[in-house]
A and B are shown apart, each in its own frame.
Chain A
Amino acid sequence: MRTGQPNQPTGGTASELLRISELRVDFATEHGWANVLGGVSLDIHDGEIVGLVGESGSGKTVTGLSILGLVPSPPGRTSGGHIWLHDEDLTEVAEPRLRQIRGNEISMIFQEPMTSLNPAFTVGDQISETFRRHRRASRKQGTQRAVEVLDLVGIPNAATRVHAYPHEFSGGMRQRAMIAMALCCDPRLIIADEPTTALDVTVQSQILDLLRSMRAEIGTGILFITHDLGVVAELCDRVVVMYGGEVVETAPVHDLFQLPRHPYTEGLLSAMPQLGSRTAKLASIPGHTPEPWAMPNGCRFGPRCTYHQESCSESPVALESAGTERQARCARLAELNLRGAS
Chain B
Amino acid sequence: MTASDTDPLVRVRGLNVTFAQKRLLGPTRSVRAVHDIDFDIGRGETLGLVGESGSGKSTTGRALLRLVPVESGSVQLAGQELTKLRGGELRKLRAAMQMVFQDPYSSLDPSTTVGASITEPFRVHQGLSRNQAWPRVLELLELVGLPASHANRYPYEFSGGQRQRIAIARALALHPKLIVCDEAVSALDVSTQNQVINLLEELRAEFELSYLFIAHDLAVVRHIAHRVAVMYLGRLVEVGPAERVYERPAHPYTEALLSAIPVPNPQRAGERERIVLHGDLPDPADPPAGCPFQNRCGYAMDICRESMPPMTEVADGGTVACHLQTTGPRLAGAVLRDANLSVGSGQ
Contacts and interface: CB of A to CB of B under 8 A. Distances in A.
11 contacts: A171-B53, A203-B280, A204-B262, A228-B262, A231-B262, A268-B191, A272-B190, A273-B223, A282-B194, A284-B192, A284-B194
B148 to A, nearest CB: 19
A233 B53 contact: no
Contact of B264 (A203, A233, A281): A233
A30 B267 CA distance: 46
| Interface pairs A-B: 9 shortest CB-CB | A230-B262, A273-B219, A282-B194, A284-B194, A201-B260, A205-B260, A200-B52, A230-B264, A55-B189
B219 A274 contact: yes
B274 interface: yes
Contact of B222 (A233, A268, A271, A278): A278
A271 B265 contact: no
A254 B269 CA distance: 11
B264 A200 contact: no
B217 interface: yes
A214 to B, nearest CB: 16
A70 interface: no
Interface string A246-257: 000000011001
B197 interface: yes
Contacts of A268: 190-191
B292 interface: no
Contact of A234 (B161, B223, B262, B278): B262
A208 B216 CA distance: 18
Given A201-B216, A278-B225, A341-B265, 20 more contacts: A55-B189, A172-B280, A200-B52, A200-B216, A201-B217, A201-B218, A201-B261, A202-B260, A205-B260, A230-B219, A230-B262, A233-B264, A234-B262, A257-B265, A271-B191, A273-B190, A276-B222, A277-B222, A282-B195, A282-B197
Contacts of A272: 190, 264
Contacts of B124: none
Interface residues of A, number: 46
A284 B262 contact: no
Nearest to A282: B194
Contacts, number: 128
A281 B196 CA distance: 11
Contact of A202 (B52, B192, B193, B219): B52
Interface residues of B, number: 46
A171 B281 CA distance: 10
Given A202-B52, A234-B269, A285 B191 contact: yes
A63 to B, nearest CB: 17
A144 interface: no
B29 to A, nearest CB: 16
B194 A254 contact: no
A231 B190 CA distance: 13
A107 B124 CA distance: 52
A233 B262 contact: yes
A28 interface: no
A173 interface: yes
Nearest to B268: A233
Interface in B204-245: 216-220, 222-226, 242-243
A229 B260 CA distance: 15
B107 interface: no
Contacts of A206: 276-278
B70 interface: no
A218 interface: no
Contacts of B226: 278
A201 B194 CA distance: 19
Task: Identify the interface centre among B189, B220, B261: most chain A CB within 10 Å of its CB.
Answer: B189
A55 B193 CA distance: 11
B243 A288 contact: no
A276 B263 CA distance: 11
B198 interface: yes
Nearest to B246: A275
Contacts of B159: 288
A204 B191 contact: no
B218 A227 contact: no
A209 B276 contact: yes
A278 B223 contact: yes
Given A273-B217, A274-B219, A229 B276 contact: no
Contacts of B276: 202, 205-206, 209
Nearest to A169: B280
Contacts of A202: 52, 256-257, 260, 276-277
B269 A56 contact: no
Interface string A24-36: 0000000000000
B261 A275 contact: yes
Given A257-B266, A284-B198, A341-B265, A56 B190 contact: no
A79 interface: no
Interface string B172-211: 0000000000000000011111110110010000000000
A142 interface: no
A332 B148 CA distance: 37
Interface in A192-206: 200-206
A201 B274 CA distance: 12
Contacts of A257: 264-267
Given A201-B261, A275-B246, A288-B161, A283 B194 contact: yes
Task: Identify the interface centre among A200, A230, A269, A342: most chain B CB within 10 Å of its CB.
Answer: A200
Contacts of B191: 55, 267-268, 271, 284-285
Contacts of A279: 223
